[in-house]
Amino acid sequence: MQIETIATQPIEGQKPGTSGLRKKTPVFQQHHYLENFIQSIWTGIGGIAGKTLVLGGDGRYFNERAAQVVLRMAAASGAARVIVGQDALLSTPAASNLIRKRGTDGGVILSASHNPGGPEEDFGVKFNMPNGGPAPEGVTNKIFEATQSITEYKILEAHDVDLSTPGETTLGDMVVEVVDPVTDYAELMESIFDFDAIRALFKGGFTIRFDAMHAVTGPYAKAILEGTLGAPAGSVVNAKPSPDFGGGHPDPNPIWAKPLMDLMMGPDAPDFGAASDGDGDRNMIVGKGCYVTPSDSLAVLAANATLVPAYAGGLKGVARSMPTSEAVDRVAQSLGIDCFETPTGWKFFGNLLDDGRATLCGEESAGTGSDHVREKDGLWAVLFWLNVLAKRDQPVAELMADHWKTYGRNYYSRHDFEGVDAEAANTLMDELRGKLADLPGTKAGDLTVKAADEFAYDDPVDGSRAEQQGIRLYFEGGERAVLRLSGTGTVGATLRVYLENLVTAPGDLHEDPQKALAPVFAATDEIAGIKTRTGRDAPDVIT
């Protein structure tokens, strides 16, 4: 087999965003596009000669073709071994686990996560470090720099590797080890949770619907929920990963997981509903007639963590992304542990987890996780909830009511304006940035601005600084709004507006969140000109 050196030149726009490089699939299929980026990863991490990597993806269209390219390029650049999920499948948390468990030098994950998949939809690539977590900005910057100066890449001339059966083969001098994608992950889950308690819960007639949204978590959820834990057959729906996610949008929120929401709000609702995204790192939690916002979910898990064997000794600390509601902050306060506030994106939690400062982390975007891996983990969050419910023997709605009574309720919602003209979105943010200093004291709608700033983060572990991570408006009544532009979209710009308002007992803890937050949106719109700038009357997605 021959190593070919192919001449190439830099391709514009290969800058990794919040979570890797995401583009329309046809962009990735352009001549040299994927190859340039993969070679730049090798350069950015200081070469891969003699290294062992993990490789897998969420099964979307182009997943397996791209995996074959990565394998041939890894072999050509001297990698010793690549551990790859059968059929090139690995959920993101399962990949993170394998990287850690096998002590590898990192891994390549082929996924655009919650973005739709298919010939005309999205594809993505990201690199995870030896700790199992997404490459931090220092590394993604090096990768980006490499994409701007690349002149050639190396690829082995070879046939496709058979990835359909577990076992070892070679590709040139490199070993390719195909593994079952579920086994190691399932073992990890069993080591964390009280499986006996969850088994007893299902045995007692507790019902669940898990919607895998035609994405990668299907096989994991079937094996663990229906197989090991004894949930009735058929509890896991849309369980077969499909290249275009059944034509859907594999984003577990009330809009895209509407069939599940409808079921849970209707007369035939099971006791518990959950869904996961394209690559299995997000989770949605719904009780009978009771949607749990991701921010509340993080707070509930933190408050009940000692019911789970792996966290029985207590939490070292918690961390949340800045736009995530402050619900978990008050739990941390009452537990007497630290609560860290980081920029959006899981890569910012890595150092806190590695350094033993935080045990649980979460994002308002349906991401929750812990130090068991270095990614957010959808199925883990579902099992966490089941473990808590089994121990507390309470329906979700009752548990939430108790939680709010104790800690108060952070009414919370995110309004997304998608596919907005990029220039208009940037102008909106620039103008807002320009007037931040003048805002305190300003009246907007029924509210008055108390403080306004732009979030920057100094990592307490390595001292690195991340700037321009979202604009924050604080109002006199304790309300908060955050505005930032998405870093995972592939068309135009997506403006995210995060709204929050804390109400403590004896205030109304059971109001419709949209109603409770309407004055916050109105004030924010008056200040930032959201509707006029975007030309939209209403958001495309409300979570």
Residue among 104 and 486 whose Cβ is closer to ligand VG1: 486
Query: Cα–chain-centroid distance for residue 104?
Result: 22
User: Helices 327-335 and 294-304 meet at what angle, rounded to 10?
Assistant: 10
Percentages helix, strand, coil for the chain (3-state, rounded to 5) are 35, 25, 40
- Closer to ligand VG1 by Cβ: residue 51 or 282: 282
Site string for ligand VG1, 478-497 (x = CB under 6 A): --------xxx-------x-
Under DSSP, the state recorded for 534 is H
Dihedral sign for Cα atoms in the order 161, 167, 170, 173? positive
Rounded distance between C-alpha atoms, residue 188 and residue 131, angstroms? 16
Q: Does 367 bind ligand VG1 (CB under 6 A)?
A: yes
Q: How far is the CB of 303 from ligand VG1 (least distance, A)?
A: 22
Residue 121 or 281: the one with the smaller Cβ distance to Co ion is 281
When binding is defined by CB under 6 A, the residue of 345, 369, 513, 539 that contacts ligand VG1 is 345
Write the DSSP assignment of 416-441 as a string of letters.
Answer: EEEEE-HHHHHHHHHHHHHTGGG-TT
The one segment of 225-233, 286-294, 362-370, 430-438 that binds ligand VG1 by CB under 6 A: 362-370
Tokens of 235: 């509890």
Q: Does residue 116 have a cis bond before it (omega within 30 degrees)?
A: no
**Mask for 9-48, x = binds ligand VG1 (CB under 6 A):** ---------xx-----------------------------
Query: Would you count residue 346 as binding ligand VG1 (CB under 6 A)?
Result: yes
Amino acid found at 350: G
d(CA 277, CA 124): 14
In whole angstroms, give the CA distance from residue 51 to residue 363. 32
Q: Which residue among 35, 105, 277, 525 contacts ligand VG1 (CB under 6 A)?
A: 277
Residue 204 makes CB contacts below 8 A (sequence gap 6+) with none
Residue list 298-327, contact with ligand VG1 (CB under 6 A) = 321
Site for ligand VG1 in 492-521 (CB under 6 A): 496
Identify what 488 binds: ligand VG1, Co ion, none; CB under 5 to 8 Å per kind.
Answer: ligand VG1
Contact call for residue 350 and ligand VG1 (CB under 6 A): no
Among 25, 113, 351, 490, binds ligand VG1 (CB under 6 A): 113
Of Co ion, ligand VG1, none, which one sits near residue 486, judging by CB under 5 to 8 A according to partner kind?
ligand VG1
Regarding 107 and contact with ligand VG1 (CB under 6 A), the answer is: no
By beta carbon distance, the residue nearest ligand VG1 is: 113
CA separation, residue 371 to residues 72, 256, 453, 458 (Å): 33, 29, 31, 21
Please choose which of ligand VG1, Co ion, none residue 367 contacts, taking the beta carbon within 5 to 8 angstroms, the exact cut-off set by kind: ligand VG1
Site for ligand VG1 in 145-204 (CB under 6 A): none
Q: Of 113 and 140, which has the nearer Cβ to Co ion?
A: 113
Per the CB < 8 A criterion, the answer to whether 414 and 543 are in contact is: yes
Among residues 96, 111, 113, 370, the one annotated as catalytic is 113
CA–CA separation, 22 and 26 (whole Å): 11
Tokens representing 301? Answer: 């898990």
Q: How near is the Cβ of 360 to Co ion at its closest, in Å?
A: 18
Q: What is the DSSP letter of 491?
A: S
- Per the DSSP assignment, residues forming a β-bridge with 2 are 157
Is 297 part of the annotated catalytic residue set?
no
What CA–CA distance (Å, rounded) separates 536 from 5? 49
Q: Does 281 bind ligand VG1 (CB under 6 A)?
A: yes
Residues 266-325 that bind Co ion (CB under 5 A): 277, 279, 281-282
50 Ramachandran zone, left/alpha/beta (phi>0; psi -120 to 50): left
Helix or strand run (H / E) with residue 109: strand 107-110
Kindly state the smallest distance separating residue 295's Cβ from Co ion, in Å. 17
Shortest CB 496 distance to ligand VG1, Å: 6
- Residues within the interface to ligand VG1 (CB under 6 A): 18-19, 113-114, 277, 281-282, 321, 344-346, 363, 365, 367, 486-488, 496
- Residues serving a catalytic function are 113
- Residues within the interface to Co ion (CB under 5 A): 113, 277, 279, 281-282
